[in-house]
């Protein structure tokens, strides 16, 4: 009986997520590139509209492509209105009882609370969107905003506290805004710049030490590859973020690991942007209306808020065991 239930659950899962590339695309650099080109071709009209918006914001080219990350001061990317909105979000963050939240989390080393898409969050997102667009090459999609709390009391092997890349896209940005200053004592994220990460990845592939970007690797393996490449640990960057700075990190192109055991907890507001052609967005039934109005940029920015892989996953929890439903 359990065997039959597992088969039915597997079938249901595949049908539910039929619209998303996650079930088709292997998590390799090559496969990610091919999938994105396929999506851009299938949705050529949308891609052209999104690409043309970059011309309006050429002054926002603030991230060095070889690095795949940048730490920017507020005055480079946030307006006065956004700073006021950020103060409001920090107040919400500080009102959360994280000790209660920890008890409910699947990742005890990274506790998260979703941020509602209110006017404060939208103000910040819309200030940052041009910077993201210039980096990824088209007008982006804002997937979600979350409050992050890392207790930093213990390390967990084989999880995101080990070296890995993320799988969502060819390029994406996770934007980290500190609630309190992030120092070495707060367990900062560590990363390797994108151009060096690419060399490490193909070195590991050649030696058959890895197959996918999201595989977790211990420090010893990464350090040995760096040594073989005549590179030292100085190329590993700590995301030290002052209170008037934000970090923009391409976690799909940079090997990184999250907050590890440290003296103090880490408190962050995290915003997640991808292209509109990632495995998080639907291949078909995208439900986008290309209305020629002044709000088209905002519409395209938020169009997959309720139509992405994560929301499909959450909705699938409400289906009965025997139900097969195409979302």
How far apart are alpha carbons 50 and 297 in whole angstroms?
A: 8
pLDDT in tens, 279-309: 999 998 888 876 666 688 999 999 999 888 8
Give me the residue label for tokens 């979600």. 144
CA 132 to chain centre: 12
The DSSP output letter for 236 is P
Confidence at residue 44, expressed as pLDDT on a 0 to 100 scale: 95
Confidence at residue 319, expressed as pLDDT on a 0 to 100 scale: 46
Least reliable range by pLDDT among 107-111, 183-187, 195-199: 107-111
Starting from the edge strand earliest in sequence, which strands make up the sheet with 256-257, in order?
Answer: 237-238, 190-191, 256-257
At residue 227, the 3 state secondary structure works out as: helix
Helix 44-52, helix 29-42: angle, nearest 10: 100
pLDDT in tens, 48-69: 999 999 988 989 999 999 999 9
Structure tokens at 29: 């650099």
Structure tokens at 312: 């499909």
**pLDDT greater than 80 at residue 172:** yes
Instruction: Name the pTM for this structure.
Output: 0.91
The DSSP output letter for 216 is -
How far apart are alpha carbons 130 and 150 in whole angstroms?
A: 29
pLDDT in tens, 1-51: 577 777 776 666 666 678 898 888 999 999 999 999 999 999 999 999 999
CA 115 to chain centre: 15
HEC-encoded secondary structure of 77-138:
HCCHHHHHHHHHHHHHHHCCCHHHHHCCCCCCCCEEEECCCCHHHHHHHHHHHHHHHHHHCC
At residue 208, the 3 state secondary structure works out as: coil
The answer to whether 169 and 278 are in contact (CB under 8 A) is yes
In the chain the first and final C-alpha atoms are separated, in Å, by: 27
Structure tokens at 172: 């994406």
Closest by alpha carbon to 131, among 41, 252, 246, 36? 246
């Amino acid at each position: 009986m359990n065997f039959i239930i597992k088969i039915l659950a597997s079938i249901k899962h595949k049908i539910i997520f039929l619209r998303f590339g996650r079930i088709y695309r292997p998590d390799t650099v090559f496969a990610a590139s091919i999938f994105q080109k396929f999506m851009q071709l299938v949705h050529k009209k949308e891609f052209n509209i999104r690409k043309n918006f970059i011309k309006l914001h050429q002054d926002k080219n603030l991230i060095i492509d070889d690095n795949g990350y940048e730490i920017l001061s507020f005055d480079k990317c946030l307006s006065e209105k956004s700073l006021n909105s950020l103060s409001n979000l920090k107040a919400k963050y500080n009102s959360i009882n994280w000790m209660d939240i920890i008890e409910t989390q699947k990742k005890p080393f990274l506790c998260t609370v979703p941020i509602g898409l209110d006017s404060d969050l939208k103000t910040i997102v819309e200030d940052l969107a041009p910077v993201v667009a210039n980096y990824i090459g088209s007008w982006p999609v804002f997937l979600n905003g979350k409050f992050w709390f890392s207790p930093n009391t213990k390390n967990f092997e084989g999880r995101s506290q080990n070296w890995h890349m993320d799988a969502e896209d060819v390029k994406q940005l996770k934007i980290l805004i500190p609630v309190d200053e992030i120092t070495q004592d707060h367990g900062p994220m560590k990363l390797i710049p994108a151009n060096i990460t690419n060399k490490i990845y193909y070195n590991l592939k050649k030696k058959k030490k890895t197959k996918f970007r999201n595989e977790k690797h211990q420090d010893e393996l990464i350090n040995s590859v760096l040594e073989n490449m005549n590179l030292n640990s100085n190329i590993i960057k700590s995301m030290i973020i002052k209170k008037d700075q934000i970090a923009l990190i391409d976690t799909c192109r940079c090997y990184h690991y999250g907050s590890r055991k440290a003296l103090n907890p880490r408190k962050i507001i995290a915003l997640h942007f991808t292209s509109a052609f990632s495995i998080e967005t639907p291949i078909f039934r995208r439900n986008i209306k290309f209305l020629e109005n002044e709000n088209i940029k905002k519409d395209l920015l938020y169009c997959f808020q309720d139509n992405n892989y994560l929301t499909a996953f959450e909705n699938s929890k409400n289906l009965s065991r025997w139900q097969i439903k195409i979302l």
